[in-house]
């Protein structure tokens, strides 16, 4: 299952203020690097097929594109890890907040892309391979993830220090577990489709990640190159949604024929 993507958007000074506040170092127990608004809610996944019934048809069509940021981008502040010397000494260079991750040409990383409409009815097999979130360098890696309903969600602790993993899900049951340095691995599952929600560390307030639970395999997360690709679709017209943690979602309608690939780029701008 691929993990890449890009998109972004909001207004001038409001965008700069929102991002720089939300991404600063230090801060309260419910933010990564000081304050900041909660992530924009994405549209309810009302069209997501249920995980029951006959297998949903698949195909050989694909949708791909790039997410970019247009205009002058705000500068992300370095995270302050001074509150825990064991964390601070793991880094020799400043670690920037990940609320805005840009690549060459202002391509956007950490964009969650998914199909939210147009899929045929039917069920999709749950992958046995887990999605892995590591606690490394006193950060959650990766920062943005997608996981299918009932797919194993493996949480690692590669730091050898005390961490805490606290899910702020509202549809799935929340969990809040301590992972001392001696606990290297833990497993969870999410049993219901849910829009993006935060996972935070109550020990290290700058640590946070975002997870979306999907009822099908047609999603991706962009890396710094801003690229995403969704493959294996039947021919049809689909509604694609892109999500960024501090800005609103964007959607587009894309029609694709079997065996062909359709391009759909997204741009966030000031």
- pLDDT per residue as tens digits for the range 147-180: 999 999 999 999 999 999 999 999 999 999 999 9
pLDDT at 183 over 80: yes
Give the residue ranges of DSSP H helices in the chain. Answer: 12-22, 85-88
Question: How many other C-beta atoms lie within 10 A of the C-beta of residue 71?
Answer: 12
pLDDT at 259: 96
Contact 246, 239 (CB under 8 A): no
Q: Which two tokens stand for residue 230?
A: 């969704």
Contact 97, 117 (CB under 8 A): no
pLDDT at 120: 94
pLDDT at 212 over 80: yes
Q: Which residues of 82-107 are buried (b: 16+ CB within 10 A; e: fewer)?
A: eeeeebeebeeeebbbbbbbbbeebb
pLDDT at 7: 39
pLDDT at 119 over 90: yes
- State pTM to two decimals: 0.81
pLDDT at 248: 87
pLDDT at 51: 53
pLDDT at 217 over 90: yes
pLDDT at 26: 39
Q: What are phi and psi of 206, to 5 degrees?
A: -80, -10
pLDDT at 68 over 80: yes
6-20, 63-77, 199-213, 226-240: range with lowest mean pLDDT: 6-20
Place of tokens 């000031």: 270
Tell me the domains of the chain and their CATH numbers: 12-269 (2.60.40.420)
**Which of residues 90 and 45 earns the better pLDDT score?**
90
pLDDT at 108: 97
Mean local confidence (pLDDT), 135-139: 97
pLDDT at 14 over 50: no
pLDDT at 76: 87
Task: Tell me how far apart the alpha carbons of residues 40 and 210 are, in angstroms, rounded to a whole number.
Answer: 12
Q: How confident is the model at residue 256 (pLDDT cuts 50, 70, 90)?
A: very high
pLDDT at 22 over 80: no
Mean pLDDT of the chain: 85
pLDDT at 263 over 90: yes
Region of 179 on the Ramachandran plot (φ > 0 left; ψ -120 to 50 alpha; else beta): beta
Q: How confident is the model at residue 52 (pLDDT cuts 50, 70, 90)?
A: low
pLDDT at 74: 84
């Amino acid at each position: 299952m691929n993990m890449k993507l890009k998109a972004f958007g909001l207004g001038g000074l409001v965008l700069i203020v929102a991002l720089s506040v939300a991404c600063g170092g230090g801060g309260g127990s419910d933010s990564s690097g000081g304050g900041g608004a909660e992530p924009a809610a994405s549209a309810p996944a009302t069209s997501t097929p249920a995980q029951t019934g006959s297998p949903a048809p698949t195909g050989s069509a694909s949708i791909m594109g790039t997410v970019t940021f247009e205009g002058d981008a705000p500068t992300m502040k370095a995270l302050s890890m001074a509150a825990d010397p064991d964390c601070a000494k793991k880094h020799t260079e400043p670690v920037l907040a990940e609320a805005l991750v840009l690549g060459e040409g202002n391509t956007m990383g950490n964009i969650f892309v998914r199909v939210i409409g147009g899929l045929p009815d039917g069920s999709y097999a749950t992958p046995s391979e887990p999605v892995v979130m590591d606690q490394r360098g006193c950060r959650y890696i990766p920062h943005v993830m997608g996981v299918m309903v009932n797919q194993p969600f493996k949480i690692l602790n590669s730091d050898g220090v005390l961490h805490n993993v606290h899910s702020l899900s509202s549809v799935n049951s929340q969990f809040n577990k301590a992972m001392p340095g001696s606990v290297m691995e833990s497993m969870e599952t999410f049993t219901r489709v849910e829009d993006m929600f935060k996972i935070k560390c109550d020990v290290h307030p700058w640590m946070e990640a975002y997870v979306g639970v999907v009822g099908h395999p047609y999603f991706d997360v962009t890396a710094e190159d801003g690229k995403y690709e969704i493959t294996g679709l039947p021919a049809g017209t689909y509604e694609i949604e892109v999500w960024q943690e501090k800005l609103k979602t964007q959607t587009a309608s894309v029609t694709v024929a079997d065996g062909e690939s359709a391009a759909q780029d997204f741009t966030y701008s000031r």
